[in-house]
Structures are given as C-alpha cells and as structure tokens.
A and B are shown apart, each in its own frame.
Chain A
C-alpha cells in the first residue's frame, strides 16, 4: 500500500500519536504560562494594595493618640471675671486663657521674663482654655475650687513626643528650642505629661489647630448625606426598575430611557455637582453646604447604579415564577410584590450598597455645592452646613501643619473602615436573603 492510496484522514491517523505528543507539551506549557500571568498580576495588585494601606497606616496611626499635660487649675473667680455662672456674656468674655497661664506659672515658678513666659504658655494647646470653659459650664460648682486636669498639649509638643521633631537637630532648625524641650523633659520626669487615646479626634469638628481638629463633623455630615441619598435613591431606583422591567411597554420611548440611564451612569460626578448648584441651590434656594443638597446630588449620581443593578436582579428571577403567580390569578402588582421583589431583593440591596459606598467616597460634586467650606460645628440636622469625610480629607491634605498629615491619613483610615463595613454588610444581606431552589 502506498501513500497515494490513502486519503487525508488515514494519512493523518498514521502520524497522529507523535504529532499530538509534540503539540501536547506546548499546550501544557501555554496553560502553565497563562496561570503564571494570572498569579503575577494578582501579586502585583496585592502589593500595590499593601503599599497603599501600609503608607496610610504608618502615616495615620499616630493621629489616634495625643499628648496631654496635667495642670493644677484654680477656677479663680476674680481672674476669670465671672460673678454669675448663669450670665452667658460674662462666660463668653471671661479670661479663660489666664487660668491656663496661671496654672503653668505655678507649676514653673522659676520661669520669668516675657519671652520665656510665652514659650512656657505655648506648651499647652491654644484652644485648651475652651475645654476649661466647657468643664466649668458643665459643673458650675467648681467655681473657686482647684483641681488637677489633663489638658491637650500643643501640636509641636505632640510632634516632639511622636518623634516627628528631631531633638538632636541644631536648635535653629528645630520648631522647639532647648528651653521648651527642657520644660517638656521636666514634665515627663514628674509624670505630668502622657500620651493617651485621642478622643478629641472623634468628638470634635474641624479646627484650625491640628490638635483640636476632629472628624465628628465630617462623620455626621457624611451620615446625613448618605441618609438623604438612601431615603431618596432606594425607593425611586427600585420603583423605576420595577416599572421598566415589569410594566412598561417595550417601545422606542422606553428604549431611549434605557439607553439614557446607562449614559447617566457614565456621567462624570462633577457634572452632577454643577447641576446641583444650578438647580437645588440657585433655583430652589436650598441652603449651601448642607447635607440635604449633598444627598440630592448624590441621589442623582447613585440612581443609575441602583436602577441598573435592580433591573438585572429582576431579570434574573425565573419567568416560571411569574407564570405560576399569574396562572393562579394574581394581578401583576401581586406577582411583583409577592414573588419577584423578594427574589430580586438581595441583588437590589447589593447594588444599593455599592452605590452608597460610591456616594460615601464621592468628593467632586460636593465641592461644587459648597460642602468644602471650613465648618467647625458638628451639624445637628441635614440642613446645617457641614462637610463630609472625603472632603475633610481633601481639606486637611492641603494644610501646612505637620500634624494634619497624620490627620489626613487617620481620616482616610476611618473612611476605609466605613467602606469595608458597608461592603461586609452587603455580603451579609446577600447571604441572608438569598433563596435557593
């Protein structure tokens, strides 16, 4: 039998084994290579993430503890100039700073001279006197008495304790001179200076003084903003998705709506901010810098996300369930409320939480509606001026004081913490409400 008598398949069959063997090695090598690419990209991704988190944590960790100085303060009625504790104006104009200065002078009786006194006074935070005011207002019976109290140290002292100021550098290149450092050392020796958990960071609003600046204002602002966003975008988004998916006729008009919802999801968020400024503030005269406006703007931004994910969750409900309900004589609304909605809920909630997480991290549109203003007060209602966490981070990252570097990273850690909690909550909801069959 010669080769000419064989057809193509028979000829191929004769060399099949060796050809396959040759090819097989290559195929396996390719598969291994492909897996290796995957592993390498995951390793690169993880190392970037580790680097990011590492820098944020090392920079931000120090903001969670602060330096405090113990002073023996006498609430001297004459020195303060307060005769009646119930008189607001007397309290407002009282010389609170004198209490701190007096206490320091008593602790260091040897220090004399204007310049030396000023340097001594700069050990304690310049806003610590308001802590004394708050304390006395809360406990009026303390007037005229003496007590030991821990007061916030100045941010330079704090930086020294956190080793951000180099003691060994030449005096002229240091923010603290030898005299100040000697004062600090004597306080450390006598146990009158300590570092403690920085509750101020979580209880105060923003401040120009880094040691007094906290994220409470931004946290409450973020909470109100997200609350408004959730309350508006979830019902609107879910109703829109249900209507479009279950009730709307399929025609050109609904097609245009569908395309535009997808387009809206891709619109840069700052455009929504401009829209909010033009419509909510300039036309409807809603208050500037208020979480309610921020919430409205973020609602616009979040709606497409919620609608798209809700629609796909509704689409994923098997049509046989709809037929079963309709076949029993359920109306369309009953079919949707009793069967489709419960089955689509986990997907809807997941989409909503992802949208809310996006909204929590959004900065640009909120700059446009004035939430970037410096606001020291903690907002009490969604109508009060306020800022939000990412904007607070943006604001602090711009400030020159060294302590704000740590504050910025600290605030980022808090924001990341909230995002992680929200995502975990999304996973939890999905697990809890998922129905299997």
Chain B
C-alpha cells in the first residue's frame, strides 16, 4: 500500500473515531456496572499495554494524545450521577480537564517491571469525578510501552481496542492537519437537576407504564397457560445458565481479587486460525481452548486431575460468529482433560453454541433497568451472586495491519481485564499477523504463578507447532 493510500485510510478511520460513542446517557448495563462497582474486587477497569519498538518523542506523544482527546469528546467528559437514582448517569464535559493529570511518563529497567507497575496502576481506583482514563508511557531502555487504563463506562475492552486501533496511525511519519471534531457547545449537567428531570420524566411516563403493565397482566390472564409455561421456561433457562457449569477448581482458590499480576504472550496468528478451522470453530473458540489447555497443564502439574472447569465466555446475540454489537456473558463447562487442541476446540465450540438455546441469555440486560432503580448494593450483590467462572476468556479484533503511535511502531497490544471473581481473565487481541494474549491473574488464587506462565507458554507452542 502506498503512503498516500495509508494516509487516506487514516483520515477515514479518524473520522470514525470522532463519531465514536456520542450518546449522552449510560446504558442500563453500564449504569449497573457503574453503580455497583467495588474496585478492585468488583472492578470495571481494563488496562491495555501497548509495546512500542522505540520510545516516541514525548512532545509529539503528548500532542497526539491531546489531539485524540479533542477528536473523541468522551475522553474529556466525566460521568455525572443524579443525587437520587431516578435517572441514568449522564456524560458531561469536564471543565477542569487537564491532560497532565491523565498522561505521564516513567522510566523502568525492564519489561517485567513495566508489567508489575501496570498492574499497580490498574489496582488504584479512578477519581470518579474526572474523565475515566489514565495513560502512562513507560520507557524501557530504547523501547517503550504505553499503558492505558480505561473504565468500562467509557469503553468496554472491545471498544477500547477499537478506539485505539482507530486513533493509531498507518505510518511512522507525522500527519499535519489531522481532522478535528466539530465544535459543539460544552455540556454541563447538575446532579440535582438530573435527578429532578429524571423524576419528572418518570412521573410523566407513569400513566403509560401503568397502562402497559395492566395490558400485559390482562394478556397473561387471558392465556394463563402460555404465560405460565413461558415464565417457567424462562426460569428453567436462568437456572441452567447459573447452575449447570462445572464447579470451580479447588486449585484456583482462595481468590481475593486484590492481587493482580499481568502476563503477556505472543503467538503467530495463522497457526491458531488453522487449529480453529480444523476443529470447526472460530478464533474465539480456539482462544478458549488454548487457555483451557494451559490450565489443564497447570492442574496436571499440581496432580489435580479435573475434567472441566467453569469458563466465562462472550456470546454474540446477533448471528453466532458475527462480531456484532450485542453480546451476553455466560458460563460454559470448559473441558480440561482433552489433550488434542483440535478436539478441544470442537468441544469448546459445542459448549458455546449450546448457549444459543438458552432464552435467558440476556437476563442481566433484562434485569439491569430494574436493578438500577434500587440502591446500588442490590445490583452489586446481584452481580456478586451470579455464578463465577475460574477464567474469563475474550477475543478482540485489533488493527489488521502495522500501526504507529507518534512515530513508534506498535509491536503488540495486550488487554488485561478485571477479575470479577475469577482466578484469571485472558484477552486475545489480534494485531496484524500476531495474536497478543494478555492474562490478568489473581495471584492469591494461583499458588505457582511461574508454573502457570510456563503452562500457558507450552500450550501456545502446542497450538502453533502442531
């Protein structure tokens, strides 16, 4: 591709970034996570570690970040909560925004120190009255790593990777006259006003809500059998979703959720995709199978033979295998005892696709609006009481080609997700022809951390040398 083509592609992508996430209210699900957050045990913070081939020029890096926050308005906005929860929280421009508060630079001796620093940054809670991100550029010898901590309300891991892929450049050189967001009047919101207007809207909607409720009750009364049957089927589905996964592994306890350790791995993407194809699955299925393989090795190493463990996966609610925008999280029983990676991929795929028969997949989405009207501890305990997996596994599409940040080449992009009750959270990000696996481990639950790291590395070798 010629440099001018790359430039045109950059402009198009940056235009997309300007339009990224412009809704003014938090969605019900974001609201639930926002209000029930208890960092770090019940955290909604993801951290992205971006390995760079050289330390970028600091001035240029700051300027580029400043431009990014002007392009994507959300990065300069904060969440305003109404004084009483009559309305969803709302995004408002932060009049006191100061880039220096959010972006700094540090120097570390090596990559490992950078990762442990990143984990410490991730463990510190956000100032919830400011824009919900924090970036640190670590200079590691001649190389560098950019660590970006971002709150789920601002962007979920998928959105974070999308946003970063959008903001990065297709070339090493500087682009003058980059596009800017259209100027809009600053949005200011007052918490009391927000609560009052929410209440007013509630009262105004009351007759309609009452009418709808009555109509639904009336419908149910005329067809009591089908109403009861459908309610029972829904309940049965909820029960299966919550109870049917395997019990948690005794070898991944006790979990405190307070000791995060970050691990990163690289794997060539093509062999991974090949194993996925042979097993009839997707890269997502292969990622789950890979993490399970590593955990299988870990359990074998500790003489703790288990057949299956509960794994949290993401299911598309549009067509399966479609990276659409509607997802639900759910638990599967991940096979731990299947040695052949291809067969394990097939088994994982069977488990994940089987979730599509469950009508209650979206139960949390359905319950979120109601729970948001209740005191925040209700939502928090509901989230806590949901069945908890041993591991979350997530696959995220990153940039398909080589990308640059302020003149430094992106070598790898690792997402380290939160640990809501799990012993580990693994995210696989595709960056050009590399699969970047980031694993956040609850160090209190994993007795032999170095052993786990080695097991995961061995499993990656098994997948890629097959």
**Do A and B interact with each other, yes or no?**
no
Contact surface of B with A, Cβ cutoff 8 Å: none
Contact surface of A with B, Cβ cutoff 8 Å: none
